[in-house]
């Protein structure tokens, strides 16, 4: 364990220089897989309001840039999921402990179960940022020392994640937490976001995400229907004209609901149009006009290679 501790200093320096989530994940996985007896490592981040995890395994992660992130249900009974959900580390010292606490996962090991498993939560105060997973080929003879070493790594990784800035070209790392231009700077009471694919499934996924989120927040049907209509039109517009993945985020403040859709910038931002001047027989091009008619207000913004269409619904008017 002594050599692992010495190497952790170099790890902290490398994480301190990282500015993207992909870099942080690569550095952490590379360091974990070089520890004695490690047969597999994993890195996970919560998305979709904590209902899913973006997971990267050392099995398929290339040396430089991870590209094989996958999504898993955050409520599946797994050591890493439990660590992230509860904020408490999971330590399985030996195969008996593994088989007793996670029998289905133990039985599913195709190449033989690891001798020990540790899942460490990435925390920043009360906030849970993700987790690290470690499979070893030997029993843990000193679990306390193992946890002390991994907790040090988790602290450095969490610090790097908080300092990281999302790459302009990658909506997958975008978390929308700022109020749109012209909106009051008060903090959102609740926030949720979802990565959408660059295909025709995106509008439906956006609607299901919004419906579930707003139902969880006890938002009334009138606001819910308006939000679903506007979001569907905005996301459809992205698929028709941008054809790239996007991120939808929803923020509830005291008297209003704001929805953002961020996507890569392609051409000029869409112009605000009035419904009254549209051709009533037109079968396309009316989406943003509907947003203009339904939303309390909406607008577009652009920073670098990312653009945002956002709309706001007044809870006082519609609730």
**Any idea what the CATH number is for the domain that residue 13 is in?**
3.30.450.40
Which pairing describes strands 52-57 and 190-196: parallel, antiparallel, or unpaired?
Answer: unpaired
| Claim to verify: residue 215 and residue 94 sit in the same structural domain | no
pLDDT for 178 equals 39
| Claim to verify: residue 135 and residue 176 sit in the same structural domain | no
pLDDT for 188 equals 56
pLDDT for 161 equals 81
For residue range 70-88, list pLDDT tens digits in order: 878 888 899 999 999 888 8
| Claim to verify: residue 104 and residue 250 sit in the same structural domain | no
Is the pLDDT confidence value at 245 over 80?
Answer: no
CB 31 within 8 A of CB 126: no
Q: Which residues pair with 313 in a beta bridge?
A: 257
Query: Residue 17 sits in which domain range?
Result: 2-163
| Claim to verify: residue 185 and residue 126 sit in the same structural domain | no
For residue range 112-123, list pLDDT tens digits in order: 779 999 999 998
Q: In what order do the strands lie in the sheet with 297-303?
A: 190-196, 246-252, 256-264, 306-314, 297-303
| Claim to verify: residue 157 and residue 265 sit in the same structural domain | no
pLDDT for 287 equals 59
- Please identify, among 163, 196, 212, the residue that sits at the C-terminal boundary of a domain: 163
| Claim to verify: residue 140 and residue 175 sit in the same structural domain | no
pLDDT for 81 equals 93
Tell me what the mean pLDDT of segment 55-83 comes to. Answer: 77
| Claim to verify: residue 237 and residue 302 sit in the same structural domain | yes
pLDDT for 270 equals 46
Is the pLDDT confidence value at 177 over 70?
Answer: no
- Please identify, among 137, 163, 189, the residue that sits at the C-terminal boundary of a domain: 163
Its pTM surpasses 0.85: no
pLDDT for 192 equals 79
pLDDT for 186 equals 52
E strand residue ranges, the chain:
38-47, 52-57, 70-73, 90-92, 116-124, 127-136, 190-196, 246-252, 256-264, 297-303, 306-314
**Any idea what the CATH number is for the domain that residue 308 is in?**
3.30.565.10
pLDDT for 187 equals 53
| Claim to verify: residue 155 and residue 181 sit in the same structural domain | no
| Claim to verify: residue 134 and residue 38 sit in the same structural domain | yes
| Claim to verify: residue 129 and residue 58 sit in the same structural domain | yes
Closest by CA position to 225, among listed 163, 140, 299, 318: 318
Residue predicted with more confidence, 186 or 258: 258
Q: Which of 98-112, 123-137, 168-182, 222-236 has the highest mean pLDDT?
A: 222-236
| Claim to verify: residue 159 and residue 175 sit in the same structural domain | no
| Claim to verify: residue 72 and residue 177 sit in the same structural domain | no
Rounded Cα–Cα distance for residues 148 and 22 (Å): 25
Residue predicted with more confidence, 81 or 15: 81
- Please identify, among 102, 128, 163, the residue that sits at the C-terminal boundary of a domain: 163
Instruction: Calculate the average pLDDT of the chain.
Output: 77
Number of neighbours of residue 121 by Cβ within 10 angstroms: 23
Count of domains for the chain: 2
Q: Which letter does DSSP use for residue 26 in this model?
A: H
């Amino acid at each position: 364990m002594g050599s692992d501790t010495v190497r952790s200093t170099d790890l902290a320096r490398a994480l301190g220089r990282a500015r993207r989530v992909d870099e942080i994940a690569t550095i952490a996985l590379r360091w974990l897989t070089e520890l004695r007896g490690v047969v597999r490592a994993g890195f996970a981040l919560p998305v979709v309001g904590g209902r899913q995890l973006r997971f990267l395994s050392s099995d398929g992660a290339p040396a430089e840039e991870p590209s094989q992130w996958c999504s898993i249900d955050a409520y599946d009974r797994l050591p890493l999921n439990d660590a992230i959900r509860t904020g408490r580390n999971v330590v399985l010292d030996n195969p008996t402990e593994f088989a007793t606490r996670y029998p289905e996962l133990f039985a599913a090991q195709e190449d033989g179960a690891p001798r020990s498993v540790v899942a460490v939560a990435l925390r920043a105060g009360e906030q849970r940022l993700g987790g690290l997973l470690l499979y070893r080929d030997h029993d843990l003879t000193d679990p306390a020392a193992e946890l002390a070493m991994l907790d040090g790594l988790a602290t450095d990784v969490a610090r790097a994640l908080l300092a990281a800035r999302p790459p302009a070209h990658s909506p997958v790392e975008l978390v929308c937490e700022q109020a749109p231009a012209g909106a009051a700077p008060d903090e959102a009471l609740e926030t949720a976001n979802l990565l959408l694919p660059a295909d025709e499934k995106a509008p439906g996924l956006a609607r299901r995400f919004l419906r579930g989120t707003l139902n969880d927040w006890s938002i009334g049907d009138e606001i819910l229907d308006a939000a679903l209509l506007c979001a569907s039109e905005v996301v459809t517009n992205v698929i028709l004209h941008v054809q790239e993945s996007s991120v939808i985020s929803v923020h509830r403040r005291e008297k209003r609901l704001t929805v953002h859709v961020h996507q890569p910038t392609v051409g000029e931002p869409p112009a605000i149009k009035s419904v009254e001047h549209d051709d009533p027989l037109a079968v396309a091009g009316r989406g943003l006009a509907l947003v203009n008619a339904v939303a309390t207000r909406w607008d577009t913004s652009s920073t670098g290679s990312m653009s945002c269409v956002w709309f706001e619904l007044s809870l006082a008017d519609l609730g």
